[in-house]
Amino acid sequence: MKPFSFQLPTRVEFGPGCARRVGEEARGAGVTKALLVTDRGIVQAGLAAEVQEALRSAGVGVALYDGVQTNPTLAVVEEAFALYRAEGCDGLVAVGGGSSIDTAKLVGVLATNPPPLTQYEGANKIVHPIPPLVAIPTAAGTGAEVTFSALFNDPERNYKASVRSPKQAARVALLDPHMLSTIPPHVAAATGLDTLTHALEGYVSTGASPMSDLLGLEAIRLTAQWLPQFVANPRNTEAASHMQVACVYAAVCCSNARLGNVHAMAHPLGGHFNLHHGVACAILLPHVMDFNLIGAPEKFAAVAQAMGRDVRGLSLWEAAGEAPKAVRDLMRVLGMPMTLREVGVTADRIPAMARDAVASGIHTTNPRATDLDTLVNLYKAAM
Ligand SMILES: NC(=O)c1ccc[n+]([C@@H]2O[C@H](COP(=O)([O-])OP(=O)(O)OC[C@H]3O[C@@H](n4cnc5c(N)ncnc54)[C@H](O)[C@@H]3O)[C@@H](O)[C@H]2O)c1
Ligand SMILES: [Fe+2]
């Protein structure tokens, strides 16, 4: 067995209604005034007001920043940080999907580390831990509530930058399935496929360990079983709960094992086309799996089984080949777009996106060796 290290810096609390404990959690972490970071969709769904109220009733002051957009930009982070300073905040609460949670992490980085933010791109560049952050996810997708990553779009470079360090992990994640009940079904589908991608890429990564494997395979099994029912009815608390747990398993898996070509290629689609991250991952995933099969055939055969395929009597190659078929079937059941062309991507940007993917270094743990040409061909295959 190869040596490995494994960490989960975030405490995880699960339970229907547990988001109401946000006030005690923030106060317990020494926060006197929190910046509540969210987006307008979350405010309109009534989720931010609930959290604001819970903070106030625990005696914690709160200032609201609701300007987050999907694929948050550097300007959004700077605007939220200006409010954090002006309001004299000493802690952060994020309510939302990955965009809100990442924005809160990055505000935290600026609160304790000198600007500019761009100097912290890449792995382990942050010097000082961020102020206490309580993360309340409203989607089961990115797992940003437990990962060490935060992403922002830099429109000047058409670049989706990633900052990776356990020093920006949330202090606590409050997993309350009721917070998922208002999610639009198409967002539930796209974010759920992001979870599947985290689990799959982490599971077959060259950085995988026995601990990340346990989490990855179970997240794949749970997602295949529960995502359709969650998309069908996000108020189904049982389905939402399983998806929340799957999301955390997958995120902890890939935070430790790292990712592969799907994420290397998905971030440039966010940078160049502002494509939703989950949609980008979903469209790329089966193509990258086709390419990766020979890199980890036993693992892909196990993925097929975890997704409910009967692989008895099949050869190893046949069993492995069932895995991308199972993913394509799941995408069809969920009504996902199957090609990049359908979502407005144009081929002229492929060379630049492939270069950005290489620059990210995320492809270096892909189970099959990958260079610039590989990435160009994979983008073309997904068009
Ligand atoms: N930090 C990480 O580890 C990590 C990992 C993967 C992706 N990301 C990043 O996260 C971002 C994407 O996050 P996301 O996919 O969670 O989507 P998101 O946060 O961008 O949210 C998408 C939309 O869904 C709406 N929404 C979410 N939950 C809702 C609810 N319960 N009720 C009503 N509306 C709801 C939001 O208002 C928003 O309009 C991207 O920037 C991506 O790059 C981060
Ligand atoms: Fe992702």
Relative to the CA of 44, which ligand 1 atom is closest?
33
Residues 264 and 163 in one domain: no
Give the closest residue to 92 by CA, choosing from 134, 143, 43: 134
Whether residues 174 and 229 share a domain: the answer is no
Per-residue pLDDT tens digits for 57-108: 999 999 999 999 999 999 999 999 999 999 999 999 999 999 999 999 999 9
Domain residues for the domain of 367 are 185-382
Shared domain check, 94 and 66:
yes
Query: What was the pLDDT predicted at 276?
Result: 97
Beta carbon of 278 within 6 Å of any ligand 1 atom: yes
**Number of domains observed in the structure of the chain:** 2
Give a yes or no: residue 16 inside a domain. Answer: yes
Contact 100, 37 (CB under 8 A): yes
For the record, the structure tokens of 20 come out as 């109401």
Identify the domain boundary among 180, 207, 229: 180
Give 357's contacts (C-beta < 8 A, 6+ positions apart): 261, 264, 265, 267, 268, 363, 375
Residue 127 belongs to some domain of the structure: yes
Q: Are residues 139 and 230 in the same domain?
A: no
Note whether 42 and 140 are same-domain residues: yes
Length of the chain: 383
Q: Say yes or no: 172 and 244 in one domain.
A: no
Give domain status of residue 227, yes or no. Answer: yes
State the distance from the centre of ligand 1 to the C-alpha of 229, rounded, in angstroms.
Answer: 20
Q: Which of 142, 236, 243 to mutate to test the pocket of ligand 1 (most atoms within 8 A of CB)?
A: 142
| 232 lies in some domain | yes
Do 327 and 205 belong to one domain? yes
352 & 281 share domain: yes
Examine the fold and report which residue of 164, 180, 196 is the final residue of a domain before the chain moves on. Answer: 180
Give yes or no for residue 108 CB within 6 A of ligand 1. no
Residue to probe by mutation, ligand 1, list 70, 107, 121, most atoms within 8 Å of CB: 70
CB 103 near ligand 1, within 6 Å:
no
CATH number at residue 378: 1.20.1090.10
Q: Residues 54, 196: one domain?
A: no
Q: Residue 253 falls within a domain, yes or no?
A: yes
Task: Please tell me the predicted confidence (pLDDT) of residue 91.
Answer: 98
- Identify whether 132 is part of a domain: yes
CA 28 – CA 34 distance, rounded (Å): 13
Residue 64 lies in a domain: yes
- Under DSSP, is residue 64 helix (H, G, I), strand (E, B) or coil? strand
Both 146 and 231 in a single domain? no
Both 289 and 346 in one domain: the answer is yes
What is the C-alpha to C-alpha distance for residues 4 and 201, in angstroms, rounded to an integer? 17
- Encode pLDDT of 149-162 as tens digits: 999 999 999 999 99
Dist. CA 65–CA 77, nearest whole Å: 10
Distance 182 CA to ligand 2 centre (A): 21
Mean pLDDT per block of 10 residues along the chain (383 residues) reads 93 98 98 98 97 98 97 97 98 98 98 97 96 98 96 93 96 98 98 98 98 98 98 98 98 97 97 97 98 98 98 97 98 98 98 96 97 98 98
CB-ligand 1 contact for 187 (6 Å cutoff)? yes
CB 121 within 8 A of CB 359: no
Centre of ligand 1 to C-alpha 309, Å, is: 30
Which of these three, 129, 155, 180, is where a domain ends? 180
Determine the Cα–Cα distance for residues 50 and 249; give it in Å rounded to an integer: 27
Same domain as 374, residue 237: yes
What DSSP string runs through 153-222?
A: EEGGGTEEEEEE-GGGS-SEEEE-GGGGTT--HHHHHHHHHHHHHHHHHHHHSTT--HHHHHHHHHHHHH
CA distance 264 to 360: 7
pLDDT at position 165 is 95
Q: Answer whether residue 5 is part of any domain.
A: no
Output the domain CATH number for residue 58. 3.40.50.1970
- Which ligand 1 atom is at minimum distance from the Cα of 71? 41
Q: Whose CA is nearest to atom 40 of ligand 1?
A: 71
27 alpha carbon to ligand 2 midpoint, in Å? 31
The DSSP letter of residue 139 is: S
